């Protein structure tokens, strides 16, 4: 039985590469942004004399606000 012929693969266009770069930069920015919040959380806890529950509220409030702005 003969194999069905497959169309020749074309290399990705510049537009496709730019789309990939834009998505990758967006994801990297989100990761860096969340990391910054986690790093700065310890000084916030010390300065405001709050407990871990309140600190978690700060982190979650930031994440929810960030997600809402992404939409």
Residue 64's domain spans which residues?
Answer: 15-70
2 is a domain residue = no
pTM above 0.75, yes or no: no
Distances 9 to 13, 14, 15, 17, 18 between C-alpha atoms, Å:
12, 15, 17, 16, 19
Whether 6 maps to a domain, the answer reads no
- How many separate domains does the chain show? 1
| Confidence class for position 70, pLDDT limits 50, 70, 90 | confident
Q: Is the pLDDT of residue 1 over 70?
A: no
Q: Is residue 10 part of a domain?
A: no
5 domain residue, yes or no:
no
**Across residues 41-64, what is the average pLDDT?**
90
The string of pLDDT tens digits covering residues 2-47 is 677 777 788 888 999 999 999 999 889 888 888 888 899 889 899 9
Comparing CA positions, the residue from 42, 43, 41, 37 lying closest to residue 63 is 37
């Amino acid at each position: 039985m003969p194999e069905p012929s497959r169309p020749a693969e074309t290399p990705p266009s510049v537009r496709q590469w730019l789309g990939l770069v834009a998505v990758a930069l967006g994801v990297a920015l989100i990761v860096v942004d969340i990391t910054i919040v986690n790093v700065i959380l310890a000084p916030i806890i010390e300065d405001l004399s709050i407990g871990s529950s309140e600190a978690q509220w700060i982190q979650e409030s930031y994440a929810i606000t960030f997600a809402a702005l992404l939409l």
